[in-house]
Amino acid sequence: MADPALWFEHALLPDGWAERVRIETASGAISAIAAGADPQAGDARGGIAAPGLPNLHSHAFQRAMAGLTELRGPEGDSFWTWRELMYRFVADLTPDDVEAIAAQAFVEMLESGFTRVGEFHYLHHGPDGRPYADIGEMAVRIAAAAETTGIGLTLLPVFYAHSGFGGAPPAPGQRRFVNSLEGYARLHEASQAAVAGLPDAVVGVAPHSLRAVTEHELRAVAAIAGPVHIHIAEQVKEVDDCRAWSGARPVEWLQDRFAVDDRWCLVHATHVTEGERCRMASRGAVAGLCPITEANLGDGVFPAARYLAEGGAFGVGSDSNVRIDAAEELRLLEYGQRLTRRARNVLAGREGESTGGRLYRGALVGGGQAVGVPQAPGLAVGATSDIVSFPTGHEAFAARSGDAWLDSRIFAGGPVEHVWRRGVRVVEDGRHVAREPVAARYRAALAGLLGR
């Protein structure tokens, strides 16, 4: 069925920027693109259009603890002390809470220009560790939040079984995450059922980390179809523990045993050697970078300059959702490189290339690959009609053109104007159409949760 057409003053197409672009959508996909076109009566209009970005890695529930872990503890605050706080927070969450929090997170993602989320979903069971009557109860809630907000969902049900390398038994704080392989098969089936009502959902698999799975379990999980996402080499301690256990570093261990190809998304991969990095790039795996969370948790800095120069695929994710902002993820990705290398325009590939343009197109293509929805570096016929526009009238975009619009969006605070998902406008003038009821439900959930 044809939807109302969209008309933009400017639009990013795969081969560059075009003016006066009219886009038709049918059944959620772009069916025609005409440049140099006049708007027609009834067309929705916007300023500068580009495809929405995929958010390749999120734990939606963590949005509710954003800002609550910035208090200095007794000593040595770290990723691991943060994780203890996160485990305490997770202990009480109900399915209603999870749905309310996820909807709020998804609203904020859409408002920042993310149009699809890879939800790395591991909070499966009740507080005592027993599955809900429907083992996919929490997946149903994530799907409901996606439906409420309109965001595209790539659901990545997580397999989690151990607390450390070599199959160590899970810790009490992890009991809500844990499944046997048999349980996981049921959970995976239930996850597919949970998203069946969404028009373009994708289901992949997510072995949580090499800390949480054995080789045997990883083989079984990776044998299931769809994108494979795994946390890897995020913390130095994780690398050290992996070496103590196996003699190899995490990425190396994985690459020696699995064909880590374009099906795989290596989330963080912060601490890699040159050899590991080159192998990632040449086999086509996506580096799932989450610069805001990686900064917040004190992870370290991924060697993005060298990796991109080697042609490595990457995308960005909002991970802990401590702050949800697609442009800020890209900005911080570049700024981490600038700060450590004491240089500018590090991730642009060649003289004359815009850094923002390189980052935006790279995150579109690599992110799309990771979430199982291949994506061109611009709006293209056949692609889902997931579109973000920026307002030409805003000062941040004044007297600019082409990739300088993306640079102004990413580095200079240029805001989002509208967002369409499958051709339907879900964000108008920077605000999600369901922001009020979603936020009201979120506030009520948090009042209950933190008052409990």
Q: How far is the CB of 294 from Zn ion (least distance, A)?
A: 10
Closer to ligand NGQ at the Cβ: 9 or 77? 77
Q: How far is the CB of 234 from ligand NGQ (least distance, A)?
A: 5
Which of 3, 97, 319, 325 is the catalytic position? Answer: 319
Site mask, Zn ion, residues 295-334, x = CB under 5 A?
Answer: ------------------------x---------------
Q: Is 436 exposed, middle or buried (0-12, 13-18, 19+ CB in 10 A)?
A: exposed
Of 84, 142, 80, 82, the residue nearest 117 (C-alpha): 142
By a kind-dependent CB cut-off of 5 to 8 A, residue 435 interacts, out of Zn ion, ligand NGQ, none, with none
- Which residues bind to ligand NGQ, rule: CB under 6 A? 59, 83, 209, 231, 234, 293, 297, 319-320
The reply to whether 294 sits near Zn ion by the rule CB under 5 A is no
Element housing 7 (H / E)? strand 6-13
Q: Is residue 205 a contact partner of residue 226, using CB atoms and an 8 Å limit?
A: yes
Closer to Zn ion at the Cβ: 252 or 319? 319
By a kind-dependent CB cut-off of 5 to 8 A, residue 234 interacts, out of Zn ion, ligand NGQ, none, with ligand NGQ
Closer to ligand NGQ at the Cβ: 25 or 62? 62
Please give the structure tokens belonging to residue 329. Answer: 């993820």
Q: Strand pairing partners for 419? A: 388, 427
Distance CA 362, CA 354 (A): 12
Q: How far is the CB of 297 from ligand NGQ (least distance, A)?
A: 6
Distance CA 390, CA 398 (A): 11
Distance CA 115, CA 274 (A): 33
Of 312, 290, 309, 310, the residue nearest 301 (C-alpha): 290
Number of residues that bind Zn ion (CB under 5 A): 1
Closer to ligand NGQ at the Cβ: 298 or 437? 298
Closer to Zn ion at the Cβ: 319 or 329? 319
By a kind-dependent CB cut-off of 5 to 8 A, residue 83 interacts, out of Zn ion, ligand NGQ, none, with ligand NGQ
The verdict on whether 268 is a catalytic residue reads: yes
Closer to ligand NGQ at the Cβ: 83 or 425? 83
**What residue is closest to ligand NGQ based on CB?**
59
In Å, what is the CA distance from 12 to each residue of 16, 21, 392? 6, 9, 14
As a residue count, the chain comes to: 452
Place of tokens 């939807």: 3
Q: Is residue 197 a contact partner of residue 174, using CB atoms and an 8 Å limit?
A: no
Compute the half-sphere exposure of residue 201: CA atoms within 13 Å on the CB side of its CA. 24
Q: How far is the CB of 106 from ligand NGQ (least distance, A)?
A: 17
In Å, what is the CA distance from 182 to each residue of 185, 188, 393? 5, 10, 56
Q: Which residues contact 8 (CB under 8 A, 6 or more apart)?
A: 20, 21, 23, 45, 46, 47, 48, 49, 389
User: CA angle, 318 as apex, 314 and 323 as ends, to 5°?
Assistant: 140
Closer to ligand NGQ at the Cβ: 59 or 125? 59
- The stretches of 160-265 forming alpha helices (DSSP H) are 181-194, 215-222, 236-246, 250-257
The neighbour count for residue 437, using CB atoms within 10 Å, is 12
By a kind-dependent CB cut-off of 5 to 8 A, residue 209 interacts, out of Zn ion, ligand NGQ, none, with ligand NGQ
Distance CA 446, CA 449 (A): 5
Distance CA 39, CA 48 (A): 15
The verdict on whether 319 is a catalytic residue reads: yes
Q: Is residue 253 a contact partner of residue 233, using CB atoms and an 8 Å limit?
A: no
Closer to ligand NGQ at the Cβ: 50 or 232? 232
Which of 10, 57, 268, 418 is the catalytic position? Answer: 268
Q: How far is the CB of 212 from ligand NGQ (least distance, A)?
A: 7
Q: How far is the CB of 76 from Zn ion (least distance, A)?
A: 22
Residues annotated as catalytic (active site), given as ranges = 268, 319
Binding site for Zn ion (CB under 5 A): 319
